[in-house]
Structure 1
């Protein structure tokens, strides 16, 4: 089993070395914008071979880039346009279905690149040297720099771990360059007998997560404190946007970085807390793909402040980042993360199987089964249902020898059969009396 982790290495550079890195990053950014404008002129093409014929010679001669960096520029611009075309097609489909009236404007002008971040290819643009050093490419040739970072990452690099592409990233606030390297770590293939515990994880906004294992032990993580901080950031940004001055714009950029780092640090902490609380477990996560499209509120200029606040909270919900961090951290600690269907997890009674919106009175946090009277915390009931579905995944894994990391949603009949199996699941109250 192979997983990819990112190692952030601080480059110890002098003033002269920093100036050389400045030149290569600025030239790379200018090359991206040049190639982006050319792609826009070529009918907004997303074809890397077509773009290669149009800009390769200019990227080498005009910007001084090496052959590999020039090809990387072309691929990055082509991938950007491909993403824009995908978003445009999704927008057209959503407009046909009446889900939105907004028109996607991403391809009305050539995408502009602002960040001073370039991508190195291992063995061509950068390579490792002895004594904790790395050789990176610049406009004047290779430059050898010392680096430092997280000790476990340094040990993996020293042991000869396979490395992929790397990004040279500039942090403006510290005037410091970092090298973000992809490390491919080989782990032993997982086996169902290695994971004795099953944990269902329900993610949300009022509670960042509620996790329940097969023995009925639960872990709640409230999101009120983080939401208050996000509201504080929202108020400051609103005030600065009204001013519109250059200093206000600079302040907005700084605030966006602070908010992003706050959310990332919070999700790292939550993922680590789950893994350490439930060691050697299979974590079941809801497959919330396109959840925002399914639950998007229509824009209304006359909407009440409460409705606008709820829409803002939904846009700030970073569930995907939390799930991704848990998914990549789990194998490193001897656990595993799989995805299960999210349908009706908070509306289905784990005791009798009755599914109804009426089980959630006023769509609140209380769960009250209309059929059997089972009562509990709605998010906890959802985590129990997720745990039951994860147990089903483990049973299929043991019987077939194949692990399904994500439910198949391409076939409607398969999905209907899977939901029918979920309806037959029951939580044994004798094994977990705390749920009663």
Structure 2
């Protein structure tokens, strides 16, 4: 099993070396914007060969980029346009289904690149030296630098770990360059017998997550404190936006960066808490693709402040980052993360199987089954249902020898068959002698 992780290396550069890195990073950014405008003129093409024919010679002569960096610029611009076309298609589909009235404007003008970040290819633009240094390309040839980083990441590099592409990243606040390197680790292939515990993880806003294992042990993580902190960031942004001066604009950028770092750190802590609390487990995560389009509905310009605040909180809900962080770290801790269908997880009773909106009176946190009368915390009920579906994935894995759960399959009949199997699942703690 191959796992790719990112190592952030702090480059030790002198003022003269920093000037060389400044030159190549700024030239790369200017080249991206030039190629983006040319691609826009070519009917907003996402074809790398077409962009190559139009801009390659100019990238080499005007911007002084090497052959590999010029090709990387073309591929990056092509990928950006491909992403924009994909988002446009998703927007058109959402508008047809009535999920939104907003028109996607990403292709109204050529995408603009602002960040001073460039991509290096291993063996071509950067390479490792035997004395523990790294060699990177600049406009004036190679630059050999020392670096610092996380001890485990440095150990992987020293052991000759396979490395992929790297990004040269400039942190403006510290006036410091970092090299973000992809490390490819070869881990033993996971086996179902290696993961005897199954944990269902329900993510939300009032509770960041509620996790329940097969023995009924639950872990709750409240989100009130984080929500208050985000509201504080929102009030700060609103106050700065009202002033509209150049200094407040700079301050807005700093506040936005601080909020992103706060959210990323929080998701890192939460994912690590789950992996520490339930080691060696299979974690079941809900497939929440397009959840906002399905739940937010159309915007109302006359909505109350309370409704607007609720919508803002939903838009800031970073469930995807939390799930990605958990899935990213799980193999490194001897665990595994799989996705399961999210349909009716908080509305279905795991005792009798009855699923209805009426099981959630007032759409609150209390769950009361209309049929059997079972009561409980709605988020915990959802986590148990997710755990049951994950247990079914593990059983199929043991019987077939292949982990083939695909919740994003678009075939209606296939998904209906899975939901039918879910309706037959039951969970009763009375059958477990440990409880």
TM bucket, shorter chain: over 0.9
**Distance (whole Å) between structure 2 residues aligned to residue 20 and residue 405 of structure 1:** 49
Displacement of 1:89 in angstroms is 1.7
Alignment check: 8 A CA contact 2:287 2:408 kept: no
Q: Is 2:128 aligned against 1:149?
A: no
Q: Per-residue deviation at 1:433?
A: 9.5
For each residue in 1:69-107, what CA deviation from the matched residue of structure 2 results, as whole angstroms up to 9, or x when unmatched?
A: 000000111111111111112222222222222111111
Structure 2 counterpart of 1:305: 305
What per-residue deviation string (whole Å, max 9, x for no partner) do you get for residues 20-71 of structure 1? 0000000000000000111111111111000000000000000000000000
Hey, what does 2:414 align to over in structure 1?
414
* Structure 1 counterpart of 2:373: 373
TM superposition shift of 1:227:
0.5
Deviations 1:354-405 (A, max 9, x none): 0000000000000000000000000000000000001100000000001125
What residue in structure 1 maps to residue 360 of structure 2? 360
User: 5 Å matches for 1:186-205?
Assistant: 186-205=186-205
* 1:113-152 aligned within 5 A: 113-152=113-152
Per the normalisation by structure 2, the TM-score is: 0.98
CA shift, 1:193, in A, is 0.7
Alignment of 1:241-280 (within 5 A): 241-280=241-280
Q: What is the alpha-carbon distance in structure 1 between the residues aligned to residue 385 and residue 363 of structure 2? A: 18
| Aligned counterpart, 1:8 | 8
Residue 104 of structure 1: SS of its match in structure 2? coil
Matched, 1:54 2:54: yes
Contact 2:133 2:144 in 1 (8 A): yes
The answer for the alignment partner of 1:181 in structure 2 is 181
Equivalent positions of 1:327-346 (< 5 A) are 327-346=327-346
- Tell me if structure 2 keeps the 8 A contact 1:170–1:177: yes
Cα deviations across residues 240-277 of structure 1 (Å, max 9, x unaligned)?
11111110100000001000000000000000000010
> Paired residue for 1:37?
37
CA distance, structure 1, for counterparts of residue 320 and residue 433 of structure 2:
32
Segment drifting more, 178-187 vs 86-95: 86-95
Say whether 1:390 aligns with 2:424.
Answer: no
User: Deviation of residue 428 (structure 1)?
Assistant: 1.7
Q: Tell me the residue number matched to 2:286.
A: 286
Q: Which residue of 2 aligns with 1:69?
A: 69
> How far did 1:431 drift?
4.0
TM-fit CA distance, 1:412: 1.1
Residues 267/434 of structure 1: CA separation in 2 closer, same or farther (3 Å cut): farther
2:325 paired with 1:325: yes
- Cα–Cα, structure 1 residues 419 and 405, in superposed 2: closer, same or farther, change >3 Å? closer
CA RMSD of aligned residues (A): 1.2
Q: Secondary structure at the match of 1:430?
A: helix
Is the Cα contact below 8 Å between 2:120 and 2:168 reproduced in 1?
yes
Unaligned runs of 5+ in 1: none
CA contact (8 A) 2:100 2:297 kept: no
Between the aligned partners of 1:182 and 1:240, the Cα distance in structure 2 is 38
Contact 2:116 2:170 in 1 (8 A): yes
2:425 aligns to what?
A: 425
Other structure's SS at 2:146 match = strand
How many pairs are equivalent? 435
Q: Secondary structure at the match of 1:409?
A: coil
Return the alpha-carbon distance in structure 2 between the equivalents of residues 250 and 13 of structure 1.
Answer: 26
SS of residue paired to 2:123: coil
- When residues 298 and 184 of structure 1 are mapped into structure 2, their CA distance, relative to the original with a 3 A threshold, is same
Shift of the alpha carbon at 1:406?
Answer: 3.4
Taking structure 1 as the reference length, the TM-score comes to 0.98
Q: Distance in 2 between matches of 1:249 and 1:405?
A: 47
How far apart, in 1, do the equivalents of 2:96 and 2:219 lie?
43
Superposed displacement of residue 410, structure 1:
2.1
